[in-house]
């Protein structure tokens, strides 16, 4: 759960040519770190324990906004009932009355909203994977410190690949990142159920 300043310092220790931010400013490095922070979450399919969340949704009709940090849904419950995944266009095509009030049995995702096959008459709770907020001077990393090296290595890769694309140190940092992310994955995720994607 490191601070941004800690990660900036670790970045400059890793990328020795950036001591005292001589090559890249702290704002530029902060952007690299936040991109790397997102990449670590993405390469874990947002399935790290820190990416798990739940929220009670408010419905005035059959649709509600998903939370602002929403990535993907794990489970939707209306009262004690677990809802099945459905499709809005299929419901519309079948002329289902989406204005009827009652106990929903299906949910759908459409246009940035979550919808139900009925206007719910019970509490609706969504369990979902979320994106962690960007790091700032007052927002620390929510990932344990063991993730720091992976964050720093990917941030360094971004720096080299963006500004010094022919420098082999970029590819070395990417290989280091891949090794680090596979190492930390063993703490919280069953590797057999996760596919890691390294998007540059």
Domain boundary among 130, 158, 176: 130
Residue 184 lies in a domain: yes
Q: Please report whether residue 199 resides in a domain.
A: no
Sign of the Cα torsion 17, 172, 9, 158 reads positive
Q: Which of 113, 130, 147 is a domain's end point?
A: 130
> Are 110 and 171 within one domain?
no
Q: Which residues pair with 57 in a beta bridge?
A: 124
For position 187, what pLDDT does the model report?
64
Has residue 74 been placed in a domain? yes
Q: How far apart are CA 200 and CA 2, in angstroms?
A: 24
Position 200 in a domain: no
> 73, 188 in Cβ contact below 8 A?
no
Q: pLDDT per position in the chain (200 positions), as tens?
A: 899 999 999 999 999 888 889 889 999 999 999 999 999 999 999 999 999 999 999 999 999 999 999 999 999 999 999 999 999 999 999 999 999 999 999 999 999 999 999 999 999 999 999 999 999 999 999 999 999 999 999 999 999 999 888 889 999 999 999 999 999 887 654 444 444 444 44
Q: Name the domain count of the chain.
A: 2
Q: Which residues are within 8 A (CB) of 45 and not within 5 positions of it... i.e. 6 or more apart?
A: 129, 194, 195
Residue 60 lies in domain:
51-130
pLDDT at position 191 is 40
pLDDT value of residue 153: 98
What's the confidence (pLDDT) of residue 52?
A: 98
Q: What is the 3-state secondary structure (H, E, C) of the chain?
A: CCCHHHHHHHHHHHCHHHHHHCCCCHHHHHHHHHHHHHHHHHHCCCCCHHHEEEEEECCCCCEEECCCCEEEEEEEEECCEECEECCHHHHHHCCCCCCCEECCCEEEEECCEEEECCEECCCEEEEEEECCCCCCCCCCCCCCHHHHHHHHHHHHHHHHHHHCCCCHHHHHHHHHHHHHHHHHHHHHCCHHHCCCCCCC
Assess if residue 198 is contained within a domain.
no
Entry pTM: 0.88
User: Which of these three, 111, 130, 149, is where a domain ends?
Assistant: 130
CB count within 10 Å of CB 80 equals 7
My answer on whether 138 and 184 are in the same domain is yes
**Spatial CA neighbour of 99 closest among 57, 56, 58, 60:** 60
């Amino acid at each position: 759960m490191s601070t941004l300043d800690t990660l900036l310092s670790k970045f400059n220790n890793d990328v020795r040519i950036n001591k005292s931010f001589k090559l890249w400013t702290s704002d530029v490095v902060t952007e690299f770190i936040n991109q790397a922070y997102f990449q670590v979450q993405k390469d874990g399919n947002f399935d790290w324990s820190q990416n798990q969340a739940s929220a009670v949704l408010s419905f005035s009709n059959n649709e509600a906004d998903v939370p602002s940090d929403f990535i993907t849904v794990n489970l939707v419950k209306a009262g004690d009932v677990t809802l099945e995944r459905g499709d809005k266009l299929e419901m519309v095509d079948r002329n289902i009355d989406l204005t009827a009030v009652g106990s929903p049995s299906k949910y759908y995702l459409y246009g940035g909203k979550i919808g139900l096959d009925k206007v719910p008459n019970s509490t609706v709770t969504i369990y979902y994977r979320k994106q962690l907020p960007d790091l700032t001077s007052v927002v620390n990393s929510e990932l344990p410190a063991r993730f720091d090296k992976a964050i720093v290595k990917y941030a360094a890769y971004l720096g080299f690949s963006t500004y010094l694309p022919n420098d082999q140190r970029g590819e070395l940092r990417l290989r280091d990142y891949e090794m680090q992310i596979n190492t930390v994955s063993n703490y919280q995720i069953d590797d057999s159920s996760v596919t890691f994607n390294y998007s540059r």
